[in-house]
Amino acid sequence: MVSSEDNMESPTRHATPVPGNLVTRLLRRPATAIAVLWLLGAVATGVLAPLLLPDVATQHAGDLASVRQGPSGEHLLGTDTLGRDVLDRLLVGSRVTLLGVVEAMIVVLALGLPLGLAAGYFRGRFDRVVGWLADLVFSVPAIIIVIVVLSVFRSNMLAAMCTLGLLQAPALMRVVRTATMSVTDQAYIQSARVSGLSGSYIISRHVLPRIAGAVIVQASLLACFALTAQTGLAFLNLLVAAPAPSWGGMIADGASVIIQDPWLIWPPGIAIALTIISLTQLSDALRDNITQAWAGNRPPRRAHHRTAHGPDPRPVDRSGSIEQDAALLSISDLSVVFDTPGGTVQVLRDVNLSLEKGKILGLVGESGCGKTITATSILGLLPGSGRVSAGAIRFAGHELTALSQRSMRRLRGREIAFVSQHPMSSLDPSFRVGSQIREAIRRHHDMTRREARHRTRALLEAVHLPEPQAVARSFPHELSGGMAQRVSIARALAGDPALLIADEPTTALDSTVQSGILDLLREITATRDTSVLLITHDLAVVAEVCDDVAVMYAGEVVERGPIATIFADPVHPYTRALLASNPHNAPAGKPLQVIPGSVPPPGTWPSGCHFAARCAFVRKECEAGVIPMIPLPGQRSARCIRHDQVSNV
């Protein structure tokens, strides 16, 4: 019923936690410790109770004069329909119940583990045959087949539970197979294979320890299923011959007198529930632990709620400087922080930008400099715990940092639109392109369906898509990257925005397609009077289309100004290094210059100049304190105290 891959969550793709620590880490959580205690206690009871209470298993009837007595001092959990002590039967019954689970699990592990390992390790034809068999067995209605077995081997629990184990083994096999595959994909296993280590050695030494967590997670879930099946079959009186007690049988006993006495089904029911909860708790804790350890210290994923609130849009104080009034977007001293368990981490510091109407501003820098965070703070969609801690974002008379979530929503798409880096994943894969653009149009304009349809066509034509009708009928996956990016731009234009933020719009595209998209952006600013904030790491892109440029480094704007002056005479060492390392500018025959070192991640910024550690011009005073943005002639500014020396080189 299924093909051969698996959707085990990502864990196995990354490194593995140390197993020794795992146990202690798990037990530190009280819920998990209690779960483990319960399971150990249940197993101990299953082993010991029948030895300590040898008569219970064969007792046909107790004191028939005192049947169905509620809990009392003499019978802590009361007596059953035949006057037998419920607690005794519960304790002794745990053996047959848990034994059934153990029998099934032994078969599951004995089949699933080696087959999964072999299929994942050797792959190829063996994997396909095993996979097909697993699909086959997996499609069998398990309980039904077990009942067939029980109709032949009456009350034979071993046969029944082994059959169940056989039918459940593929569920473990698949997980083992996938986990094994991702472990053996890793380079060190590959090199171990190449260097001639035997398969069994690699499997036992390198693979098994790494998949152990995934195996235990799946095995405990399968144990829950085996427990449900065991008790269910015992409930049907198919599994355990009277008078031997079992949890399922006790529920059947209670069910037969449910009208007279609602109590008797509770003790075995709670025992089953606690065992299942313990198993799931154990598996959840283990899974969390594995995923955490594997996920490492990845930053939180994009969240979808803006945390800032504020009053509705209000016009900005008009008495501001002339420069601010002329600008459509003006960011001043913007700082953004993330609240993490380890404290507040700053990701943007004193960012200043300004973008005029109909102009294109390039925001450049290496990855991790804060370009995208700048864009998302303009949109009011900072991920997770991110928030603006200081500064202002003025846009067309609004102070965006003070706007409520609701007013921000009204601005997005209508005033500020967004085009992302990955055109393919930017559009909803399940809707036709035309429907997505129409939705944006009708959101922003009061139009009938018919009008919206015409406008969709017009927009698709405006972004120079051939056969706009056919494109509108396509799903995103049917488009090429360049076409999808044009569609994204068309959607962004649906609300006639004054500002278009384009986050690396050409990075994911072929170089032949790139210039087409850049031409389009240029054309949009010219014909629609739309301003574009173009985020890129590619200086060639900036040189081709931008009017102004702002260079970012480690959360700061380090240099900004008109494109011609900055490119001709960069005064910040970082801008200089960026230009020198650009392959387009490199002189032929000489090795390409690279900037040594890497961008310091947020939280590790030095107190002085952020670039100091990688700078060729660094002096003692550079690291002494915060370097301010220094205004320079020609409407430019730079965050470098040695800018005159840099310029003169």
Partner 1 sequence: MVAELTTSGDPGQNSRGNPLLTRVRPAHQFMRRPLVTLVGQRVALAVPLLMLVSALSYLLVSLTPGDAAVSILGPTAPPEAYDNLRHTLGLNEPVYKQYGHWLGQALQGDLGRSLFSGQAVSEMIVQRLPVTLWLIGGALLVSLIAGVGLGMLSVTGRFGLGRLADLVAVIGFAMPAFWIGVELVAIFAVKLRWLPAIGYVSPEQSLTGWLRSLILPVTALSLHGIAVLAKQTREALLDVLNSEFVHDARSNGIPERSILFRHAFKNIAPRIATVLGVQAVVMLGGSVLVENVYALPGLGSLIVSAAVQHDLPLVQGVAVCFTIFVVVINLLIDFICMALNPRSATW
Q: Would you count residue 276 as binding partner 1 (CB under 8 A)?
A: yes
Region binding partner 1 by CB under 8 A among candidate stretches 6-14, 564-572, 612-620, 625-633: 6-14
Site for partner 1 in 302-361 (CB under 8 A): 302-304
Element (H, E) at 81: none
Order of all β-strands in the sheet with 343-356: 343-356, 327-340, 386-395, 398-399
374, 488, 575, 637: which one binds partner 1 (CB under 8 A): 488
Instruction: Write phi, then psi, for 52 (nearest 5 degrees).
Output: -80, -30
| CA–CA separation, 321 and 300 (whole Å) | 39
Residue closer to partner 1, measured from CB, 439 or 451: 439
339, 439, 461, 623: which one binds partner 1 (CB under 8 A): 439
Q: Would you count residue 642 as binding partner 1 (CB under 8 A)?
A: no
**What letter represents residue 235's amino acid?**
F
Site for partner 1 in 55-84 (CB under 8 A): none
The secondary structure of 133-176 as a DSSP string is HHHHHHTS-HHHHHHHHHHHSTT-HHHHHHHHHHHHHHHHHHHH
Shortest Å distance, C-beta 96 to partner 1: 16
Residue closer to partner 1, measured from CB, 232 or 562: 232
Site for partner 1 in 499-528 (CB under 8 A): 501
The secondary structure of 378-444 as a DSSP string is HHT---TTEEEEEEEEEETTEEGGGS-HHHHHHHBTTTEEEE-S-HHHHS-TTS-HHHHHHHHHHHH
Shortest Å distance, C-beta 275 to partner 1: 9
Shortest Å distance, C-beta 418 to partner 1: 3
| CA–CA separation, 83 and 604 (whole Å) | 72
Q: Would you count residue 3 as binding partner 1 (CB under 8 A)?
A: yes
Shortest Å distance, C-beta 648 to partner 1: 43
Q: Would you count residue 109 as binding partner 1 (CB under 8 A)?
A: no
125, 301, 449, 620: which one binds partner 1 (CB under 8 A): 301
Q: Would you count residue 648 as binding partner 1 (CB under 8 A)?
A: no
Residue closer to partner 1, measured from CB, 420 or 575: 420
Residue whose structure tokens are 């002794």: 92
Residue closer to partner 1, measured from CB, 203 or 252: 252
| CA–CA separation, 585 and 497 (whole Å) | 35
Helix H segments across 417-510?
A: 423-426, 433-444, 449-462, 468-472, 481-493
Instruction: Identify any residues that bridge with 632 across adjacent strands, giving them in sequence order.
Output: 636
Tokens representing 133 are 């068999």
Shortest Å distance, C-beta 165 to partner 1: 14
| CA–CA separation, 531 and 549 (whole Å) | 13
Residue closer to partner 1, measured from CB, 202 or 379: 379
| CA–CA separation, 47 and 39 (whole Å) | 12
**What letter represents residue 65's amino acid?**
A
Decide: 286 and 310 in contact? Cβ < 8 Å: no
DSSP 598: -
18, 51, 73, 151: which one binds partner 1 (CB under 8 A): 151
Half-sphere exposure of 50 (CA within 13 A, CB side): 17
150, 460, 472, 533: which one binds partner 1 (CB under 8 A): 150
Site for partner 1 in 416-435 (CB under 8 A): 417-418, 420, 422, 424-431
Decide: 286 and 213 in contact? Cβ < 8 Å: yes
Residue closer to partner 1, measured from CB, 231 or 536: 231
| CA–CA separation, 553 and 361 (whole Å) | 16
Region binding partner 1 by CB under 8 A among candidate stretches 15-23, 75-83, 134-142, 609-617: 134-142
DSSP 599: P
Burial 93-102 (b: 16+ CB within 10 A, else e): bbbbbbbbbb
Q: Would you count residue 100 as binding partner 1 (CB under 8 A)?
A: no
Decide: 415 and 395 in contact? Cβ < 8 Å: yes
Shortest Å distance, C-beta 266 to partner 1: 9
Shortest Å distance, C-beta 427 to partner 1: 6
Decide: 506 and 514 in contact? Cβ < 8 Å: yes
Region binding partner 1 by CB under 8 A among candidate stretches 476-484, 532-540, 544-552, 626-634: 476-484
DSSP 447: -
Site for partner 1 in 158-177 (CB under 8 A): 170-171, 174-175
Size of the site for partner 1 (CB under 8 A): 98
Region binding partner 1 by CB under 8 A among candidate stretches 13-21, 314-322, 392-400, 437-445: 437-445
Per-residue binder mask for partner 1 (CB under 8 A), 195-234, x = binder: -----------------------x--xx-xx--xx-xx--
Q: Would you count residue 379 as binding partner 1 (CB under 8 A)?
A: yes
19, 262, 603, 634: which one binds partner 1 (CB under 8 A): 262
64, 258, 295, 626: which one binds partner 1 (CB under 8 A): 258
Shortest Å distance, C-beta 472 to partner 1: 14
98, 113, 369, 494: which one binds partner 1 (CB under 8 A): 494
Site for partner 1 in 444-463 (CB under 8 A): 444
Helix H segments across 195-302?
A: 199-202, 208-235, 247-256, 266-295
DSSP 41: H
**Integer angstrom CA distances of residue 540 from 501, 507, 582:** 18, 12, 8
Residue closer to partner 1, measured from CB, 5 or 467: 5
Reply yes or no: is the peptide bond before residue 71 cis, omega within 30 of 0: no
Residue closer to partner 1, measured from CB, 106 or 273: 273
DSSP 412: B
Residue closer to partner 1, measured from CB, 138 or 567: 138
Report, in angstroms and rounded to the nearest whole number, the Rg of the chain calculated over CA atoms: 34
Shortest Å distance, C-beta 617 to partner 1: 39
Residue closer to partner 1, measured from CB, 146 or 615: 146
Shortest Å distance, C-beta 467 to partner 1: 13
